[in-house]
Amino acid sequence: MTPNDSGGPAVELIGVSKQYDRATVLDNLTLTIPRGTTLGLIGPNGAGKSTTIKILMGMLAPTAGQVRVLGIDVARDPASMKRRVGYVPERHDIYPWMTVGEVIDFTRAFYETWDESFSCDMLGVFELDRRKKVKQLSKGMLVKLGLLLAVSHHPELLILDEPTTGLDPIVHEEFLDGVLRTICQSPCTVLFSSHNLGDIRRLADSVCILRNGKIIVKRGLDDLLASTKRVRAVLADGHLPRWEPEGTLWQQVQRREWLLTIDGFSADIAERIKAENAVESVEVFDLSLAEMFRDYIKGE
Amino acid sequence: MMMQMRQLLWKDYRLNRGLLVLSVVGLAGVYVAGLTVEFSHTWPAIPAPQAWADGVYSYGHLSLSVMPFIAALLGGNAIACERADRSAHFLAYLPPTKLRIVASKVIVVASAVAVFCCGNLLLMYAVAPRLAEDPADFMYMMGSPAATLAGCLFTFGIGWLGSACLEKPTIPVLAALASPIVLAMILTTLAALLGISRFELVEWSPIIGLWVGIAAFCAGTWCYFRRVEP
């Protein structure tokens, strides 16, 4: 532990931008992840999730802005940061000629905090054969090996970049169990980027939705689910909506049916919809994370 | 820290193992081919000790002159080979510093070149004189061992520079292999333009090659340190 890293957030991105030629991938992104929390990073393809993670890992240099991970300036001292962070990428590029045992021995050398017994436990749980070459491993096995390498040194921050893409349901479940086992074993901050909103729902305390390199929402997951509602109003014959509530993310009128997704919903809003519009009935529904995500993206 | 270096050295040795085996076969092949020719002259009789001594010394010299090409292969392969199979991505999110990564690569290549050179020099200057006094050198035109060493540094530096800048090792290796010919052509042209004699050119070319190699190595290392991997 260095003196400057205790107590501060696990991740701090301040005004981070990334441009490739003329394309802006990240646009003045500011994001803080408090220690001990799990943040689900979601967004459509090309939203900037992987770029954000690569910048955090020091594998891409931002065009502008500051990046601090566990209190360490990533640009200045990437090695110190990497010693305390575990990273599971979407694509595993582990030396194909090494055996599983060789990869573990190779990786272990770089971490003073490597927990051999935990590593052996994970090896057993994941049914990985130390003698098998990496190039002979299936995608599922490779992902499990990647997780083992990322967590066996008990990282303070675990970064998962769409790790479950393309996994069969059994390996998928084993992977998530492995992540949960890690979090239980030694509480750490987790940044989890995924298209699988079920995984986010299961693991994350809070979510951050990215679109076109900008954060469109960052909130506690329970708070977000509790305060974002779908409203279905039936309009009186021949009438159109007159008053649109504040916090409307998305809306659609089809014949007499008026559908709205509202952020920051309260009972007062339902009453006001009735009062201000010519509606016959108003119904309020809970949204799944997937529906909410879709409405946030469509509404932008 | 020692464990980290040991693992990096092991990894770089394994990455270059195929080339190292190829190099040993190539270097030993020069002796085998040369001595087979000597043998064929006296067949079915065994060559005289003087012929053995001359053969070991001369083919040692020839084998030594192959060293710059081995250095070219190792230099061109050093960094880009990990980018080609994307394992540089894996290494990039592990904690070792770039300084250690580079140090490990240089140590492996330098050790291999040193071992191969020493093996040849041992055969030339320790074994051959024991077989017969004053062994003759048929390969005197190949240049001195010092010039060969300068050639190694030159081709290694060119290969290293290419390897540090590119994604695949093919072009750096080919460029490094061709670089002695290119340098010779440039120097010959310059010598002709400046009116320098061939004798002077031969004297100066190892020194020029040495400095170009060192400059290329430094430039390659600078590129590697500046570049955000992968």
Choose, out of A83, A87, A93, the residue to mutate when testing the contact with B (most B CBs < 10 Å): A93
Predicted confidence (pLDDT) per residue in B11-29, tens digit? 999 999 999 999 999 999 9
Minimal Cβ distance to A95: which of B90, B92, B97: B90
The average pLDDT across B157-181 equals: 95
- Between vectors from CA B14 to CA A98 and to CA B112, what angle results, nearest 5°? 175
- Per residue, the 3-state secondary structure of chain B, as one string, reads CHHHHHHHHHHHHHHHHHHHHHHHHHHHHHHHHHHHHHHHHHCCCCCCHHHHHHHHHHHHHHHHHHHHHHHHHHHHHCCHHHHHCCHHHHHHCCCCCHHHHHHHHHHHHHHHHHHHHHHHHHHHHHHHHHHCCCCCCCCHHHCCHHHHHHHHHHHHHHHHHHHHHCCCCHHHHHHHHHHHHHHHHHHHHHHHHHCCCHHHHHHHHHHHHHHHHHHHHHHHHHHHHHCCCC
Query: How far apart are alpha carbons B104 and B219 in whole angstroms?
Result: 18
Mean pLDDT by 10 residues, chain A (300 residues): 63 93 90 94 91 92 94 91 93 93 96 93 91 94 93 94 86 87 84 90 91 91 90 86 85 88 87 85 88 83
Question: In angstroms, how far is the first alpha carbon of chain A from the final one?
Answer: 42
pLDDT at residue number B58: 86
Confirm if A75 and A93 have CB atoms less than 8 A apart. Answer: no
Query: How far apart are alpha carbons A175 and A163 in whole angstroms?
Result: 9
Query: How far apart are alpha carbons A97 and A132 in whole angstroms?
Result: 10
The answer to whether residue B143 scores a pLDDT higher than 80 is no
Nearest to A195 by CA among A220, A224, A172: A172
The answer to whether residue B139 scores a pLDDT higher than 70 is no
Query: How far apart are alpha carbons B150 and B211 in whole angstroms?
Result: 9
pLDDT at residue number B6: 95
Which chain A residue shows the shortest CA-CA distance from B9? A106
CA distance A111 to chain B (A): 8
For CA atoms A65, A69, A72, A77, the dihedral sign is negative
Enumerate residues 6+ apart whose C-beta is below 8 A from B37. Answer: none
For CA atoms B193, B197, B200, B206, the dihedral sign is positive
Nearest to B137 by CA among B153, B152, B125: B125
pLDDT at residue number A107: 96
Q: What φ, ψ does residue A162 adopt, rounded to 5°?
A: 45, 55
The average pLDDT across B154-178 equals: 95
Confirm if B137 and B65 have CB atoms less than 8 A apart. Answer: no
- With CB atoms and an 8 Å threshold, state whether A93 touches B87: yes
Nearest to B163 by CA among B92, B106, B95, B100: B106
Torsion on CA atoms A46, A47, A52, A55, rounded to nearest 10: 40
pLDDT at residue number B23: 93
Nearest to B125 by CA among B65, B64, B57, B48: B57
- Is A79 part of the contact surface with chain B (CB cutoff 8 Å)? yes
Helix (H) or strand (E) holding A256: none
The 8-class DSSP code of residue A133 comes to B
Residue B214 vs residue B41, higher pLDDT: B214
Enumerate residues 6+ apart whose C-beta is below 8 A from A90. Answer: A50, A161, A162, A163, A165
Enumerate residues 6+ apart whose C-beta is below 8 A from B223. Answer: B161, B164, B165
Homologous superfamily, domain A11-212: P-loop containing nucleotide triphosphate hydrolases (3.40.50.300)
Amino acid identity at B58 = S
Q: What φ, ψ does residue A69 adopt, rounded to 5°?
A: -120, 125
Confirm if B183 and B208 have CB atoms less than 8 A apart. Answer: yes
Enumerate residues 6+ apart whose C-beta is below 8 A from A106. Answer: A95, A98, B7, B10, B11
Of all residues in chain B, the percent with pLDDT exceeding 90 is 57
pLDDT at residue number A244: 84
Query: How far apart are alpha carbons A84 and A112 in whole angstroms?
Result: 10
Torsion on CA atoms B114, B115, B116, B117, rounded to nearest 10: 50
Confidence class for position B230, pLDDT limits 50, 70, 90: low
Which chain B residue shows the shortest CA-CA distance from A88? B93
- With CB atoms and an 8 Å threshold, state whether B93 touches A109: no
- With CB atoms and an 8 Å threshold, state whether B92 touches A59: yes
Minimal Cβ distance to B86: which of A82, A93, A106: A93
For CA atoms B59, B62, B68, B73, the dihedral sign is negative
For chain A, give me the number of helices (H) and strands (E)? 10, 14
Could you name the CATH architecture of A223-299?
A: 2-Layer Sandwich (3.30)
pLDDT at residue number A4: 45
Task: Give residue limits of the domains in chain A.
Answer: 11-212, 223-299
pLDDT at residue number A3: 42
SS3 A238: coil
Residues 54-73, chain A: which have Cβ within 8 Å of B?
A: 57-61
Query: How far apart are alpha carbons A258 and A282 in whole angstroms?
Result: 9
SS3 A72: strand
Which chain B residue shows the shortest CA-CA distance from A80? B95
pTM value surpassing 0.90: no
Q: Tell me what ipTM this predicted complex has.
A: 0.85
- How long a stretch of residues is chain B? 230
How distant is the alpha carbon of residue A144 from its chain centre? Answer: 19
Query: How far apart are alpha carbons A292 and A118 in whole angstroms?
Result: 38
Minimal Cβ distance to B4: which of A92, A95, A110: A110
pLDDT at residue number B116: 92
- With CB atoms and an 8 Å threshold, state whether A79 touches B14: no
CA distance B226 to chain A (A): 11
